[in-house]
Structure formats: C-alpha cells, structure tokens
C-alpha cells in the first residue's frame, strides 16, 4: 500500500467499532450472490413458458362447465373408459422405460473404455434421436407391418403361416417408445459409467473378483443412482406418448393413452376445463412414479465415484 493513500476517516476515528461487513459479504454469507440478477431472463422464461400455463391449467381444471370444483376429476375417475387410460399408459411407459435402461447398461458397459470405432457405434445407436416420432412410425409400419420385411422373412422361412401383427396395437407403440427412448437412456448411462473410476474395477480384479462380481458388486451399485435418474427421464418421455400411440397403435382401443383422452376432451369436445383436469392427473401420476423411484435412489450410495465426471 502506498503511503500517500488518503486514510479513510473511519479508520482514524479512535478505537475501531466492530466493522459492519459490506452488504455484499453479508449476502454472500447467506449464499446470495449479487450476480444472481443475471438469472432474471431465465426466470422470466420459466415463468412465462412453464409456470404461467401450469397454474392457468390448474385453475381451469377447478372450474368445470358444470358441478363443483372437483367434478371434472370425479368425472374422469368415475368413467372406467377414461380411468383405464392411466393403466394403458403406465403399461406402455413403465416397461418401455425399464427396457431402455436395462438394455443400455450392458451396451454402455461394453463401450465404456476407449476403442477403435467407438464414435461410429455411438452415432449409430444415437441416430434414432434425430428421426422424430413420425419418421420412426413410418419406418415401423414398413418394417413390421403385415407386408413388411419382417413378416415377409418369417413367411419365407415358413416360421409363420400368417403375418404376426406388430403394428396398430400395443407392440407397435412399445417398439416406437423403445426406439426413441433408447438413445437418451444409452447416452445418459454411458456418461454415468464414465464417471466411475475404472481403477475401482481393477482393484476388485486384483482382489480376486471375476467380471460378473466386479460388475455386480462395484460398478452396478455405483451406477444405480444414475440408472434411477435415467429411468425417470425416459419414463416421463414415454408417459406423454401421443403421436406413436395414434400412428402405430390402436388409439381407440388397447393404446388409448391418457394424452389421447386429454386431446379428445380439448379438441373434439372443446371442454378445456376437463382437458386441463386430465393433464393435471397426468402430471400427478408422473410425479408419483418419479417420487417413488427417487426415494428408492436414496437407498444407494450417491457420493463421489472418483471418475472423470
């Protein structure tokens, strides 16, 4: 410090009063950073695009065209045809999400190291993300349809007498959900796996663990929290299935999912409060499933796994 710096009056004023910390420091102590205002645009965005429509819909769902505030909810649960859409949707989304996660694990596990051609394989596995639901549906119709390659091969090999029905029913939607959901699950699992220090498995090997024991006792437990998160994300994606349920499913019957019910209420009966109530129910079910999975997740070790991230 230079000698010529003018001494602030406060310092020369006798015995120092316990200095009041600068307001920024006091805020920082409570975890508030003054640069937080930079988050404003993002907050505004969230409020306008997410919170506002949500609360608008929530409000709307309690203002049915007739009856008390909960009558639209009562109507949904009272009508078996509507109520069953919940089970139909869960019956599609839960197995599809589970399969996506379970299938990703061995593939990502095999691919966790570095090897020649890894990039190419990854691209091939991830391409379906870019296709979109409609193109996937188109492909499924051509491939799995009654006159598609799959059935033609089966008939040519005399494995079946008549084509197996794989589209316009449960399986069509299920395949579509797997094709579009798998890349997400795979990429997530791959990145969770690369976050686990590979030396841990090597250490287990020197202690006498074979590959299955290494996987089951070291890698899998450390991966479980990541798998739970991945499951939640692919489940949410699958739960709001709409286009494929219509295009490759049987939207009037076995694949009448909950989003179709909401769509029909809104755009065929023009009953917006009822549609809002269905949308709220949809959200609630998703929340319940996620809460259950995340609760189960807390039972695993979720700390550092020493990898590169």
Q: Which spans of this chain sit near another protein (rule: CB under 8 A)? A: 197, 199-200, 202-210, 213, 217-218, 221-222, 300-301, 303-306
Our CB check for another protein shows the closer of 70 and 211 to be: 211
Q: How far is the CB of 296 from another protein (least distance, A)?
A: 15
CA-wise closest residue to 84 among 298, 256, 273: 256
- Quote the least distance from Cβ 199 to another protein, whole Å: 4
81 or 212, CB closer to another protein? 212
Find the shortest distance in angstroms from Cβ 221 to another protein.
5
Lookup result for tokens 């709001």: 240
**Please, which residue, 136 or 219, has the CB nearer to another protein?**
219
If the CB atoms of residues 95 and 195 are measured against another protein, the closer one turns out to be: 195
Q: Which is nearer to another protein, 26 or 118 (CB)?
A: 118
CB of 189 to another protein, least distance (A): 18
Quote the least distance from Cβ 194 to another protein, whole Å.
Answer: 16
Q: Of 220 and 294, which has the nearer Cβ to another protein?
A: 220
Min dist. Cβ of residue 292 to another protein (A): 22
Write the DSSP string, the chain: --TTSPPPHHHHSSSPP-PPPPHHHHHHHTT--GGGGGGHHHHHHHIIIIIHHHHHHHHHHTS-SSSSTTHHHHHHHH-HHHHHHHHHHHHHHHHHHHHHHHHHHHHHHHTSS--TTHHHHHHHHHTHHHHHHHHHHHHHHHHHSTTSHHHHHHHHTTS-SS----SSSHHHHHHHHHHHHHHHHHHHHHHHHHTB-HHHHHHHHHTT--HHHHIIIIIHHHHHHHHHHHHHHHHHHHHT--HHHHHTS-TTTTT--HHHHHHHHHHTS--HHHHHHHHHHHHHHHHHHHHHHHHHHTTS--S--BS--
Q: Which is nearer to another protein, 142 or 302 (CB)?
A: 302
CB of 187 to another protein, least distance (A): 24
Minimum CB separation of residue 197 from another protein in Å reads 7
| Residues paired with 306 in a beta bridge | 196
Phi, psi of 196 (to 5 degrees): -100, 125
Tell me whether residue 131 or residue 200 sits nearer to another protein (CB atom). 200
């Amino acid at each position: 410090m230079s000698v010529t710096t003018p001494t602030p009056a406060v310092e020369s004023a006798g015995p120092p009063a316990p200095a009041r910390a600068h307001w920024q420091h006091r805020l920082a102590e409570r975890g508030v950073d003054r640069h937080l205002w930079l988050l404003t645009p993002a907050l505004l965005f969230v409020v306008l695009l997410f919170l506002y429509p949500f609360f608008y819909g929530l409000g709307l769902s309690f203002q049915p065209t007739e009856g008390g505030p909960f009558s639209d909810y009562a109507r949904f649960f009272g009508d078996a045809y509507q109520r069953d859409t919940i089970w139909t949707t869960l019956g599609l989304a839960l197995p599809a999400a589970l399969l996506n996660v379970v299938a990703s694990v061995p593939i990502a596990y095999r691919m966790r190291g570095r090897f020649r051609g890894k990039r190419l394989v990854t691209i091939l596995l991830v391409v379906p993300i870019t296709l979109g639901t409609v193109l996937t549906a188109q492909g499924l119709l051509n491939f799995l349809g009654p006159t598609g390659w799959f059935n033609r091969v089966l008939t040519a090999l005399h494995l079946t007498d008549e084509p197996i029905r794989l589209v316009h029913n449960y399986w069509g939607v299920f395949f579509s959900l797997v094709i579009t959901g798998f890349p997400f699950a795979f990429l997530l699992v791959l990145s969770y796996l690369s976050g686990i220090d590979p030396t841990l498995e090597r250490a287990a090997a020197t202690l006498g663990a074979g590959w299955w024991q290494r996987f089951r006792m070291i890698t899998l437990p450390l991966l479980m929290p990541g798998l739970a998160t991945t499951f939640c994300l692919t489940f949410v994606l699958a739960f709001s299935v709409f286009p494929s349920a219509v295009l490759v499913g049987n939207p009037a019957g076995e694949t009448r999912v909950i989003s179709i019910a909401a769509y029909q209420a809104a755009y065929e009966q023009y009953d917006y409060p009822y549609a809002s109530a269905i949308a709220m129910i949809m959200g609630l079910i998703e929340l319940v499933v996620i809460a259950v999975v995340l609760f189960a997740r807390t039972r695993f070790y979720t700390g550092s796994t020493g990898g590169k991230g």
